[in-house]
Amino acid sequence: MLVFRPDRARSTALLVIALAVALSGCAGFGKKKKPNLAYEERPVELLYSTGATRLDQRRWNEAVRYFDEVERQHPYSEWSRRAILMEAYAYYQSNQYEDAIAAADRFISLYPGNPSAAYAFYIKAICYWEQITDVGRDQAATAQTLAALSEIRKRFPTSQYAQDATVKMEMVQDQLAGKDMAVGRFYLRDGQPLAAVGRFKSVIDRYQTTSHTPEALYRLVEAYLSLGLVEEAKRDGAVLGHNFPGSVWYSDAYALLTSKGLKPLVEPKVRRRGVLGLGVG
């Protein structure tokens, strides 16, 4: 079972690189020692530069306040466009994911054709990514991550984010498959093989390239036998033997089918002692 721990260091590095590329040439102006954000018209360069300084100092909330002030005093300006992305990044760094996603969405809504829109989509995906929990919990963030990463690959296939999105999508799909497997095993233990079949078939149909596929096929054999569906059990056993003859899950399926007088034609390449049955004795 995959216990999902996102690689924040890798994600943060990409975000920093993207921020440097998207916002290059925007720093180097004067600094302000003490924030006073009661409305007072100030040079946009000063507001932005102070926010950037706070960002460098990892004072995320103060940075957000300055970038928000840039938006408030100079809406629809080039500085405002840059400030929205900086705001999203500051929110992300302070783990305020909902606010980071809202800022990214605001940028996408206002500037959908801007080259930096790819960064906005990416920061959304990373915010969902870092909220993924283990397979024993709700996987809403996992599904949102997959959707966001898919959007990046579709919209920006040649961007610097597409390759990273592909790698992360594979891990997310493994996570979602793991959730279906956990629920399916529960149904088998609970004497609900028909409900278990639905979960295991979902793994085969939707996540067949993940590491869970051999076990899913074995569990289908197990569930179908408990339902008396012999032909279905033989079919999935044959699929397992054809695609994963060296898997310990095929060894278990072979032993299980043989114990029922249904010996498959393909001999397993490895042997495991015992059958890890959940629903079939």
Summarize pLDDT for 137-156 with one digit per residue, the tens.
677 888 899 999 999 999 99
Q: Give the residue-averaged pLDDT of 221-226.
A: 96
Instruction: Decide: 156 and 148 in contact? Cβ < 8 Å.
Output: no
pLDDT at 17 over 60: no
What are the tens digits of pLDDT across the range 26-70? 443 333 333 445 556 678 999 999 999 999 999 999 999 999 999
What are the tens digits of pLDDT across the range 94-108? 999 999 999 999 999
Instruction: Decide: 111 and 117 in contact? Cβ < 8 Å.
Output: yes
Q: Could you give all domains of the chain from N- to C-terminal order, each with its CATH number?
A: 8-174 (1.25.40.10), 190-259 (no CATH)
pLDDT of residue 16: 54
pLDDT at 279 over 60: no
**Where do the H-state alpha helices sit in the chain?**
8-22, 44-56, 60-73, 78-93, 97-110, 117-129, 140-155, 162-189, 193-206, 213-227, 230-243, 248-259
Look at 269 and 125; give whichever has higher pLDDT: 125
pLDDT of residue 23: 52
